[in-house]
Amino acid sequence: MTLIAELERAAAGFTAALAGAASAAEVESLRNAVLGRKGELAALMSRLPELPADERPAFGKAANAAKERLNRLLEERLAAFKAQVDGASLSRFDPSMPGRMPERGSLHPVTLVMEELCRILNNLGFETVDGPEAETDFHNFEALNFPADHPARDMQDTLFLGDGLLMRTHTSPMQVRAMLERKKPPVAVIAPGKVYRRDYDLTHSPMFHQVEGLLVDDGVNLAHLRGVLTHLLRELFGPDVALYFRPSFFPFTEPSVEVDMSCVICRGSGRKGGEDGCRVCKGTGRLEILGAGMVDPAVFAAVGFDPSCTGFAFGLGVERVAMLKYGIDDLRLFFENDLRFLGRFVK
């Protein structure tokens, strides 16, 4: 049998086998057996030197033509199998079914409240400042009129790091840094951030968030403080919120006040739904919300300001505001990362 006859026989066998292939894998197997580097067609081409010189061009031309034709048939067969698979997939697709919506996230409720607090106070002209969470004793205590033996230091439950450093117990050190940087009034800043204390229960966490404010300028008095806080709390909780000032003590303010507001649950009545004794305010109609006061002259002296300056400061816990704003009764929910809880804040 001549080489050309063997070539034609191999091509015919490949075509028949290709037509009977049941899968794309079988087609690929045929490609390797006939058209591969060690396949049947390559073996025939290797015998080209056996032919007389005048017959070699004709055989080479026939072999190349056969290879092109068989490759074209093979690709057509593979395309047919692919179309069959795609058609089966499309037959299972129902375009009338709704798509799968990706799950939406949200900012954490503490972040939402902190951003709202900062936005309200920024609109009043307060500048946002930042500072280190690992603070010096001077910035956290001494400059704020906490001498080394002051009993008020025990109120802070401080986490000490050694080498004169501690985890800041309030964001007031940022106010100290702001005054030291500016060197003289006016100063109008807010200090949002994390603070740390040794405490953990239903209403306390070893890490929580505060926003503190400071305004130092000529003629600042308690009336200005009340105006700022009234605007702030009414923006947060609605226009009907009433404020109540009562005397208190903080080393860094004099006079000092605790600020209560009318209960946002019972609207100051002390009752809810006709029942005596609102559970949130314990029937008083009021909720403690923040501490404030006029900056003590000792603080001004510590930062190099004229002790005759006037200014006020205030601070509030962000988690407490968030609990009241969203009706949350367990502080620990803010730190457990339960998606069922956090999903309530997706807008």
Q: Is residue 104 part of a domain?
A: no
Residue 219 shares a structural domain with residue 145: yes
The last residue of one of the domains, among 47, 65, 91, is 91
Q: Is residue 100 part of a domain?
A: no
pLDDT at 177 over 90: yes
Q: What is the pLDDT at residue 155?
A: 61
Residue 76 shares a structural domain with residue 160: no
Confidence of residue 203 (pLDDT cuts 50, 70, 90): low
Least confident range of 33-42, 63-72, 257-266? 33-42
Residue 164 shares a structural domain with residue 193: yes
Q: What is the mean pLDDT of residues 251-279?
A: 78
Residue 9 shares a structural domain with residue 71: yes
Q: Is residue 101 part of a domain?
A: no
Q: Is residue 191 part of a domain?
A: yes
Residue 174 shares a structural domain with residue 62: no
Residues 6+ positions from 202 with CB-CB distance below 8 Å: 330, 331, 332
pLDDT at 34 over 90: no
Least confident range of 65-69, 106-110, 154-158, 326-330? 154-158
Residue 66 shares a structural domain with residue 164: no
Q: Is residue 155 part of a domain?
A: yes
Residue 137 shares a structural domain with residue 47: no
Quote the Cα angle for 225-229-233, to 5°.
Answer: 175
CB-count exposure of residue 310 (10 Å: 0-12, 13-18, 19+): middle
Least confident range of 65-74, 209-218, 304-313? 65-74
The last residue of one of the domains, among 91, 121, 152, is 91
Residue 227 shares a structural domain with residue 114: yes
How many Å apart are CA 11 and CA 25, to the nearest integer?
A: 20
Domain range enclosing 81? 3-91
**CA atoms lying within 13 Å on the CB side of residue 159:** 14
The contacts found for 156-164 with CB under 8 angstroms, 24 or more apart, are 156/197, 157/197, 157/198, 157/199, 158/197, 158/198, 159/196, 159/197, 159/198, 159/206, 161/134, 164/136, 164/137
Q: What is the pLDDT at residue 156?
A: 60
Question: Between these two residues, 272 and 287, which has the higher pLDDT value?
Answer: 287
Residue 293 shares a structural domain with residue 157: yes
* Total count of domains within the chain: 2
Residue 239 shares a structural domain with residue 298: yes
Biggest CA-to-CA distance, the chain = 119
Query: How far, in whole angstroms, is CA 230 from its chain's centroid?
Result: 31
For residue 187, give both structure tokens.
Answer: 């100063």
Are the C-beta atoms of residues 313 and 153 closer than 8 Å to each other?
A: no
Q: Is residue 52 part of a domain?
A: yes
Q: What is the mean pLDDT of residues 170-177?
A: 95
pLDDT in tens, 287-304: 889 999 999 999 999 999
Residue 228 shares a structural domain with residue 318: yes
The last residue of one of the domains, among 63, 91, 119, is 91
Q: What is the pLDDT at residue 193?
A: 94
Are the C-beta atoms of residues 237 and 278 closer than 8 Å to each other?
A: no
Q: Is residue 205 part of a domain?
A: yes
Q: What is the pLDDT at residue 232?
A: 95
pLDDT in tens, 81-128: 787 777 766 667 777 878 787 877 888 999 999 999 999 999 999 999
Are the C-beta atoms of residues 175 and 191 closer than 8 Å to each other?
A: yes
Residue 118 shares a structural domain with residue 250: yes
Q: Is residue 288 part of a domain?
A: yes
CATH of the domain at 242: 3.30.930.10
pLDDT at 74 over 70: yes
Q: What is the pLDDT at residue 88?
A: 67
